[in-house]
Structures are given as structure tokens and as C-alpha cells.
Amino acid sequence: MGKKHVFNAGPCLLPQVAIDNTIEALRDFKGTGVSLLSISHRTKGWDEVMDECRALWKELLCIPEGYEVVFLGGGASLQFLMSSMNFLEKKAAYLETGVWAKKALKEAQGVGEAFAVASSADKNYSYIPKGYVIPKDVDYFHITTNNTIYGTEIREDIDSPVPLIADMSSDILSRRVDVSKYNLIYGGAQKNAGPAGVAFAIVKVDALGKVSRHLPTMLDYRTHVDKLSMFNTPPVVSIYVMNETLKWLKGLGGIDAMHAIDVKKAETLYAEIDRNSLFIGTAAKEDRSIMNVCFVMAPGREDLQDEFMKFATGRDMVGIKGHRSVGGFRASLYNACTQEDVDALVAAMQEFEKLHA
């Protein structure tokens, strides 16, 4: 069996070294003679993993003083609710750029007054809205920086006149972020930061505790800040893999080195989509994501979609089928995806074009 080229949108491809090191810990965690699967989170040595993981987040993203990193269950979907409960007092503004942004807004509307300042739904979320005005009388402005289904991305930190909250589930650790511009950055780990089963939240501590509503203990960020993410039993295995993934990223040279690699991968694939007569990109060129590359068959060649899927699968491509809501194809180029993987997909596209020229 040949090498598989994995483009899954999530859970995603992970660095092989992180997988290998986790396998060893599954056999024996830090010489305890007990599997990582069976240890207590109070086991000697687990605190070291938690401390190292938090420290790596802070180092890699240059997180300033006054912020803490917490690890939580429930994925980003729970963060839609948790973020609004902790920060929405009167009203909040959202930028609606896709399904996940819309779901975040829906959860906030169950907490208080929340509305979209702009939406790209009119063109099936194929672009990032421009020219909108962020109201100055809202508690916060919420954005989803990368839209996995549609292949669009906000690739720079925006300047907001009000506190900024961002779901960075699918592009965290792929570019440098000015964390000081945000009150909260959150996301599921299963794109760039680790496996499914744990979410991260980077929170400005002195912004907490400002709402008047009662916060259930588990939905109060202060609970997890105060207890170092161990108020309840944390997702031990998922955090361990996350820590190994962050160590791998640091070993590559950190965020700037990773960003250069990610940009090159995306440019390689977009160049082929733009050149190849059989394919066309679906996202506005100025808003194209470097994480999720979405494309379809060119007009008049739609009948080849199933054939190309079969063709690519036969050449060891995994996970390029587009989301069920949009169809077509999607290649997710998260950090652990390699240039070799992208080159293999490009070669398959070129070979398929020659067969149908």
C-alpha cells in the first residue's frame, strides 16, 4: 500500500512524531509502568505535561501577560455558548462568514441581544464581507477567522473599537496572531493543535467576571483559569497529543516557519486550480484560505466530478471530498500536511486533465 496523502478537514492529519510519542506513552507514561490511557490526572508527571503545554502555547503565540490558556471539553461548539455567557452583558455583534459563524451567533442570541453586522450568505459564504461598521456600543465583536466549508479566511488581525472574540479552530498556529487585540481566542484542537476531544481558550483574565448573570461553574472561564484546567478530569490523551504536536511545531522553527510552509502549500495548489482547465476555485481570490482549499469541476465538466474523486482516491488521496452542503472538493492543508502531499494532488490533477483534454 502506498503512502496516503491525507487532506481531511478534521480530525486532521497529525505529525507522525506526535503519534509515535503518544503510542509510547500509551504503553508506559513517563516510566510509571501505567498506560497514558489509565493514569490519573493526579499522577506525578501529569502536571508537567499540562504546564509544558500551556507554556508552549504562550511561547509559540507570544501570548502576553494577563492572558491564560485553558483546555476544555465540548469542542468549539460549546465555546459558542460559553463565550457569550461570559462576555455578553447587553448586546454583541457578529460577522457571519459561514455555518460555524452562524451557529455561534445563534447560541449568543439565546443568551442576549446579538446580531450580524454583515454576512456573505448571499453568495454562499464564498467571500469575507468588506466595508462593514463595528458598532461601538456592543460588548464584543465576534469573528470566525477561517471558514472550513467554504475556503475563506481572515488572514490578518482586525482592528476593533470593542473587545474582539475569535473562533480560530481551523487556522490557529498557522500564522502569527497579535493576541493583545483579543479578549478571547478559542477553538477545537482537531485541525492544527491536536486530536479531537479537547478545545483551547486563550482568555484575557481581567475581562472575566464582568457580566451580571449567574454562570454555571463549568461554563465560567474563571473556574478553569483558577484550577489550571483541572477542575474536573481533563481529556488526558488529547492534551498529551496536543503537547507533542506543539513540541513538533516548535522544533520546526515555530509559527513563522510554519506559516511560510503553509503559504507555499496553498500557493502550489491554488496555482494548479487556476491553471487547470478542468477545475475552478470557489472562494473569492482575495479571501482564499491557506488552510482549506475548495474547488469544483469547471463549467461544462461537472460530469467528471465522480470520476475525478475515484481517480484521486486510486492515487492515495484521502479526504478531498467537499462538505456535503457545497459539494465539489476540499483539500485541507493543515500544518502536518506536507508539500509532498500537495505535490501529489497537483500531479493527480494534471494527469486527469491530460486524460480529458
- Do 258 and 136 lie in one domain? The reply is no
Q: Give the separation between CA 148 and CA 332, rounded to whole angstroms.
A: 8
- Of 197, 225, 252, the residue that ends a domain is 252
Q: Identify the CATH number of the domain in which residue 211 sits.
A: 3.40.640.10
Catalytic residue among 157, 167, 171, 262: 167
Q: What was the pLDDT predicted at 336?
A: 98
Q: Give the separation between CA 37 and CA 43, rounded to whole angstroms.
A: 12
Catalytic residue among 57, 100, 204, 248: 100
Q: Is residue 272 part of a domain?
A: yes
- Do 272 and 348 lie in one domain? The reply is yes
Q: Is residue 30 part of a domain?
A: yes
- Do 173 and 74 lie in one domain? The reply is yes
Q: Is residue 348 part of a domain?
A: yes
- Of 188, 220, 252, the residue that ends a domain is 252
Q: What was the pLDDT predicted at 325?
A: 82
- Do 202 and 320 lie in one domain? The reply is no
Helices (H), the chain: 16-27, 46-60, 75-87, 99-109, 221-226, 236-252, 255-275, 305-314, 339-355
- Do 179 and 49 lie in one domain? The reply is yes
Give the CA angle between residues 343, 292, 75 to the nearest 5°: 130
**What are phi and psi for residue 109, nearest 5 degrees?**
-65, -20
Q: What was the pLDDT predicted at 79?
A: 98
Q: Is residue 9 part of a domain?
A: no
- Do 154 and 133 lie in one domain? The reply is yes
Domain of 310 in residue numbering reads as: 254-355
Q: What was the pLDDT predicted at 1?
A: 56
- Do 54 and 139 lie in one domain? The reply is yes
Q: Is residue 267 part of a domain?
A: yes
In a 13 Å sphere around the CA of 72, the CA atoms on its Cβ side amount to 28
Catalytic residue among 46, 171, 191, 204: 191
CB 336 within 8 A of CB 302: no
Catalytic residue list contains 57: no
CB 297 within 8 A of CB 279: yes
How many domains, in total, are found in the chain? 2
- Do 247 and 123 lie in one domain? The reply is yes
Q: Give the separation between CA 33 and CA 255, rounded to whole angstroms.
A: 35
- Do 100 and 149 lie in one domain? The reply is yes
- Do 210 and 258 lie in one domain? The reply is no
Q: Is residue 1 part of a domain?
A: no
- Of 221, 252, 283, the residue that ends a domain is 252
Q: Is residue 6 part of a domain?
A: no
- Do 229 and 269 lie in one domain? The reply is no
Catalytic residue list contains 167: yes
Q: Which amino acid is at 49?
A: V
Give the CA angle between residues 115, 116, 121 to the nearest 5°: 140
Q: What was the pLDDT predicted at 324?
A: 85
Q: Identify the CATH number of the domain in which residue 260 sits.
A: 3.90.1150.10
pLDDT tens by residue, the chain, 357 residues = 568 999 999 999 999 999 999 999 999 999 999 999 999 999 889 999 999 999 999 999 999 999 999 999 999 999 999 999 999 999 999 999 999 999 999 999 999 999 999 999 999 999 999 999 999 999 999 999 999 999 999 999 999 999 999 999 999 999 999 999 999 999 999 999 999 999 999 999 999 999 999 999 999 999 999 999 999 999 999 999 999 999 999 999 999 999 999 999 999 999 999 999 999 999 999 999 999 999 999 999 999 999 999 999 999 999 999 998 888 999 999 999 999 999 999 999 999 999 998
Q: What was the pLDDT predicted at 243?
A: 98
Q: Give the separation between CA 203 and CA 225, rounded to whole angstroms.
A: 9
- Do 217 and 263 lie in one domain? The reply is no
